[in-house]
Amino acid sequence: MLTRKQYELLVYIERHLKQTGFSPSFEEMKDALKLKSKSGIHRLISALEERGYLARRHHRARALDVLRLPDNMLSHDTPATAPPEADMPPGFKPNVIRGDFTQRLSGVRTANDAGAIQLPLHGRIAAGLPIEALRDTTSYIEVPLALLGPGEHYGLEVAGDSMVEAGILDGDTVIIRKGDTAENGQIVVALVDDTEVTLKRLRRRGNSIALEPCNVRHETRIFPADQVKVQGRIVALMRTY
């Protein structure tokens, strides 16, 4: 599964290679994806390498090879949920779903008379290497009402081990209360550079925000405050044995 920005970058590199015979520069990729810094491009390329879509020939400039393409790049159909063209780099229409939660989410559904409701389950969120959470309006999870408070909620499946010391394991489902604020020390869904979404503990340090893992094998990442947007905070966790 690719994030929206990973998909956009892969499409852009593939088309640039076909048109010019060489890969685009980091500056060209940054401008095409409308990112603020080249660090976001570095993270996207590393993620595509790890997923087997790109290969980087080191010690050579403009040396990216596209190894494979996702299946939906072969389709000419763009669903109604695809991002508007105004948000896209010129010349292509990625067949993915916007990964932030600035739009209103689908409402909950009554599950039964036993004090439970069904919440929308919006894909997987990394608790290790950040990935963008993709919305899936066809999947739901049944949640006891006692776990919820006021506000809108949704579920996310956890991928990775960086929050294990907080009791959050790979494959768990976390219940998130939608919101754009959080207190220091709360575990939040954070959107970084408008490209990645990750589940981490939030710490404010002056004009910076630290996203802390709960696993000594993972490093804390620190960003300028304007590069991190809180998408919600964890209020419950569900696990299937």
Residues designated as active site: 162, 200
Contact 193, 227 (CB under 8 A): yes
Contact 212, 200 (CB under 8 A): yes
User: CA 125 to CA 195: how far, in whole Å?
Assistant: 13
177, 8, 153, 202: which is closest to 91 by C-alpha?
8
- Nearby residues of 148 by Cβ (< 8 Å), 6 or more positions away: 117, 175, 177, 235, 236
User: CA 96 to CA 133: how far, in whole Å?
Assistant: 11
